[in-house]
Structure 1
Amino acid sequence: MCIPCFISQLACCCGSAACSCCCNCCPKIKQSTGTRVMYALYFLLVTIICVIMMSPTVEQQLKENIPFYSELCEKMNAGENCKTLVGYSAVYKVCFGMACFFFFFAIFTIRVNNSTGCRAAIHNGFWFLKFIVLVACCAGAFFLPEEKIFLNVWRYVGAVGGFIFLLIQLMLLVEFAHRWNTNWSSGVTYNRLWYAALAFVTLVLFTIAVGAVVFMGIYYTHPEACLLNKIFLGINGSLCLIVSLLAISPFIQKLQPTSGLLQPGVISVYVMYLTFSAFSSKPKETVTSDGMNTTVCVFPFNSGTESDKKIVTAVGTVILFACVLYSCLTSTTRRSSAALRVCRNTEPETERARCCFCFGDDTDYYDEEKTGAGQNVVYDEREATIYSYSYFHFVFFLGSLYVMMTVTNWFHYDDHKIEKLLDGSWSVFWIKMVSCWVCVLVYMWTLIAPMVCPKRFEA
């Protein structure tokens, strides 16, 4: 039993066979899903390496626990204590290699329509060889000439690509809100409990949004300081109210009967989260009271201890990775791709209401084959691809740039370390605040787009 299993795994790593686990008890997996998960693991591995490179704590632990650390760094020509392998410049180079890897595959897989061709086989297999190529790309970036010019140019390329990726995230959020409402609304026709579920979730979402406004009004404003916080809290709160009223207005209801308060509830919660995150990322302000400088408009429950900062940073890093991977993996499905183009699918949607609506199948027609003695692989792309291979790699290319800029604190990279990921800087503040407004504008456009471009939304 071990020999067939070993052969199947060897074919997975070094051949064109689809990737599968070496366990017979594992549930069957689709070829399209397994491929995307493998690329996501590559992406996650490089991202973790970037986080380690930006952490002086990890560097110190390596220095203390690895014997002959200094001698090893000298033999690797990595400078004293491997200085060339840490810091923002090292992260830029590693992310440059990862971005080149995904950009090459984005070009290589253009116009691949099914999984039977040679290019599709390379995309879906040869994982060990592709891993070697990825490592070579990341390592080769450290030998680029004219380092200062490269870093200056690549910084602005990363900023543009990171912002585009952020826009994709926001558009996916809007698509998620519409899909949630459409799916649950489809269940109302045969079970009135779905209507109760819609009403309950909508009430919870708006309660959270209003509670967030009150919370930030109390703790993130001050009579003598934090003027920007007061202005932007009022603006963002007003925008949430406007889109909520717009979603249930009669002329929108006539064009989109399924439009309701659930979608603006999701948008409002996310806008309030971004507003809170922006306020937390803003440099701290102080006021003089009774001859003493007091820090105001900060998170009230932060004790300031190192353990608390590490926990908060770790949670923030996990949330960042989860958002990036979710955007990379979900933005390439047919439904999400159509939503990003702001148009209606050519085929009518047959929704079936369910709680976990995000895990629906893109197709129901596929062939199932047994791969050795291990896991079953479902070859679901022999007639047509489930997602665009080229666009999939391009989204990961943008995700590489977004991770690079986020880990290095965007344009405030000097003396930055991963332990200060959530510390304040004006660039992060403005990026998050602009993201709030873009998110609201994208949602408003999805509401009024059928009026502006009726032909694109004809059934």
Structure 2
Amino acid sequence: MGLVCSTAQLACLCGSAACSFCCSQCPSCRNSTSTRIMYALLLLLGTIAACITLAPGLQNVLKKVPFCANSSSYVPSDVTLDCDSAVGYLAVYRICFILSLYFFLMSVIMIRVKSSHDPRAPIQNGFWAIKYLLIIGGMIGAFFIPEKSFGSTWMYFGMLGGFLFIIIQLILIVDFAHSWADAWVGNFEETESKGWYAALLGASFFNYVVSITGVVLLYVYYTHESTCALNKFFISFNLILCVITSIVSVLPTVQEHQPRSGLLQSSVVTLYVVYLTWSGISNSPDQQCNPGFLGIFAGNDAQNRVTFDKESIIGLIIWFSCVLYSSLRTASKSSKITMSENVLVQDNGAVEGRNPDAESGNDAKVWDNEEEKVAYNWSFFHLMFALATLYVMMTLTNWYKPNSSLDTLNANAASMWVKIISSWMCLTLYVWSLIAPAVFPNRDFS
């Protein structure tokens, strides 16, 4: 319903006639829900624009952009900017620079907004045409930013922001795993249907099979018998940790305090840790131990191209799923990020679909449910989207360091460690969610 309602808001960009027609066809919905989805759509459109710049057919066109055409006069002699290879990545950096700057600015503007009566509320919930024009104009202007050290400097901001978003993403994935298991175990306990029991076993088994398959492939393609000791350590160590985590999830003490804890959550976390391990060693500077996804199938010639490979696609799918999940989740779940009860979404006692204005004869479809208190922390919401933009920037560019040598185009030791450490943090966070009720029995962890 929120998506349909947001479509009506987007139609308002095209004029009053389109807005009136779409709104007349839409059910009523909360303004907070519609606004969040509109910002998620804005982020998605920005991501699509960044993806387009990586299309092979546009590389020749992008070589004519100002920062690339004038690179010889801007870049110091000890740094090489090869627009033939890196122009797509540098274009992504500029597009995401404007988008993240917009969300950071909105985060600052919306600090300490308490209700929709605040004068800043219309900036949050309206003026969509102006917002889109500002962002589009900013993206065009960003292509005139001289390269100099812009790319290499912005990369460090992107790496820090991407790492912070990975932490948020870890919390969301662990929370999703618990919510999924709670829902299915609850359905099984209520109905005692063997179908739900089979679904629990089937989903857990499938996740573990995919995880084991992934580990085997990592050993085959990213290690050699006498070399690649670091890759072997990462794969083996994370595999051992995943096994230990799965055992912990079914211990009697854990089951006593969390009866619905089980292998389904562990299988989801294990699958995500295997993905992070793959993503981490895919950024290893050791080219002998890092064939890259395309290098596995197309040989070493494809390894050092600017590409939008399967690793990036999987990363973007996980990223956007987390963005949507965080945009639509309830207050009880959002509190797990900042330990507060009004961070992202709060029901405020309102019923979805009830529009007080419509009940009084008004045709308004998007109704204000934040007159007394905001339904989510507007400033934190934009901060999270700014970090999400930086994460997608680093994902699209394979965590590429501008001005690095061409033989390490898709490699970055810092990003490798960011992802490997993130995998350890994911397991630590999940284990803590399992043992915390047993360690502190007098505290409420529901």
1:355 aligned partner: none
CA contact (8 A) 2:295 2:301 kept: no
Supply the RMSD in Å over aligned alpha carbons.
Answer: 4.5
1:244 deviates by 0.9
SS in 1 for 2:366: strand
CA contact (8 A) 1:111 1:390 kept: yes
TM-aligned CA distance change 1:155 to 1:61, over 3 Å: closer
CA distance in 2, matches of 1:250, 1:299: 45
Match for residue 315 of structure 2? Answer: 320
With over 3 angstroms needed to count, the CA separation of the structure-2 counterparts of 1:442 and 1:32, relative to structure 1, is: same
Shift of 1:273: 2.1
2:337: which partner in 1?
A: 340
Shift of 1:224: 2.3
Q: What corresponds to 2:128 in structure 1?
A: 127
Name the structure 2 match of 1:394.
Answer: 383
Q: Map 1:117-156 to 2 at 5 A.
A: 117-139=118-140, 148=148, 153-156=153-156
| CA distance in 1: counterparts of 2:286 and 2:363, whole angstroms | 56
Contact 2:221/2:296, CA 8 A, preserved across alignment: no
Offset of residue 28 of structure 1: 5.3
Contact 1:15 1:126 in 2 (8 A): no
Q: 1:224 to 1:452 in 2, by over 3 A?
A: same
Q: Is 2:110 the partner of 1:109?
A: yes
Does the aligned pair in 1 maintain the 2:158–2:390 contact within 8 Å? yes
Deviations 1:27-74 (A, max 9, x none): 6554333322322232233333334445664132578xxxxxx7xx7x
Q: Matched residue of 1:188: which SS?
A: helix
CA drift of 1:162 comes to: 1.5
Q: Distance in 2 between matches of 1:155 and 1:60?
A: 24
CA contact (8 A) 1:274 1:433 kept: yes
Measured after TM superposition, the shift of residue 173 of structure 1 is 0.8
> In structure 2, do the counterparts of structure 1 residues 428 and 150 end up closer, same or farther at CA, with 3 Å as the change threshold?
closer
TM-score, normalisation: structure 2: 0.75
Shift, 1:108, TM fit = 2.0
In structure 2, the gaps of 5 or more residues are 1-7, 75-82
The structure with more helix, counted as a fraction of residues = 2
Pairwise CA distance, 1:277:
3.2
2:375 & 2:336 partners in 1: Cα distance?
16
2: CA distance, partners of 1:455 / 1:339: 18
List per-residue Cα deviations over 1:238-258 (Å, max 9, x = no partner).
Answer: 101111111111222222222
Q: Which residue of structure 2 aligns with residue 198 of structure 1?
A: 200
Q: CA deviation at 1:218?
A: 4.1
Q: Report the Cα distance in structure 2 between the residues aligned to 1:176 and 1:149, rounded to whole angstroms.
A: 40
Q: 1:142 to 1:218 in 2, by over 3 A?
A: closer
Contact conserved, 1:22 with 1:373, CA < 8 A, in 2? Answer: no
> How many Å separate the matches in 2 of 1:402 and 1:262?
27
Partner of 1:238: 240
State the shift of 1:389 in Å: 1.6
Cα 1:296–1:415 shift into 2, 3 Å: closer
The whole-number CA distance in structure 1 between the counterparts of 2:10 and 2:32 is 19
Does the 8 Å CA contact 1:366/1:378 hold for their aligned counterparts?
Answer: no
Out of 385-394 and 406-415, give the one that drifted further: 406-415
Matches within 5 A, 1:24-63: 24-25=24-25, 29-53=29-53, 57-60=57-60
Q: Following superposition of structure 1 onto structure 2, how do residues 357-368 of structure 1 map, counting pairs within 5 Å?
A: 364-365=351-352, 367-368=354-355
1:69-91 deviations in Å (ceiling 9; x for gaps): x7xx7xxx777499999555554
Rate the CA distance shift 1:11–1:198 in 2: closer, same or farther, 3 A: closer
**CA distance in 1 between partners of 2:102 and 2:293 (Å):** 41
Give the secondary-structure state (helix, strand or coil) at the position aligned to 1:224.
coil
Contact in 2 for aligned 1:106/1:389 (Cα 8 Å): yes
Indicate the SS of the match to 2:22: coil
Q: Deviations over 1:258-280 (max 9, x none)?
A: 21111111111111222233344
Question: Structure 1 430/185 Cα, relative in aligned 2: closer, same or farther at 3 Å?
Answer: same
TM-score scaled to structure 1, two decimals? Answer: 0.73
State the Cα deviation string for residues 395-438 of structure 1 (Å, max 9, x = none): 11112222333334435223799xx99x4543443333222212
**Structure 1 position 410 matched with structure 2 position 399:** yes
Question: Is the 8 Å Cα contact of residues 14 and 127 (structure 1) preserved in structure 2?
Answer: no
Deviations 1:421-457 (A, max 9, x none): 9x45434433332222121111112122334555552
The whole-number CA distance in structure 2 between the counterparts of 1:21 and 1:385 is 29
Q: Is the 8 A contact 2:293 2:311 kept in 1?
A: no
Seen in structure 2, the aligned counterparts of structure 1 residues 390 and 264 have a Cα distance that, compared at 3 Å, is same
With over 3 angstroms needed to count, the CA separation of the structure-2 counterparts of 1:161 and 1:123, relative to structure 1, is same
Provide the identity percentage.
37
Call closer, same or farther: CA 1:180–1:320 in 2, change over 3 Å.
same
Paired positions, count: 413
Counterparts of residues 67-106 of structure 1 (less than 5 Å): 80=69, 86=87, 90-106=91-107
The equivalent position to 1:426 in structure 2, one of 397, 403, 413, is 413
Which position in structure 1 is the counterpart of 2:211? 209
Quote the Cα distance in structure 2 between the aligned partners of 1:10 and 1:363. 24
1:356 aligned partner: none
Secondary structure of the structure 2 residue equivalent to 1:38:
helix
Residue matched to 1:252: 254
Matches of 2:389 and 2:10, distance apart in 1: 29
Residues 424-433 or 187-196, more deviating? 424-433
1:148 and 1:455 map into 2 onto residues whose CA distance is 57
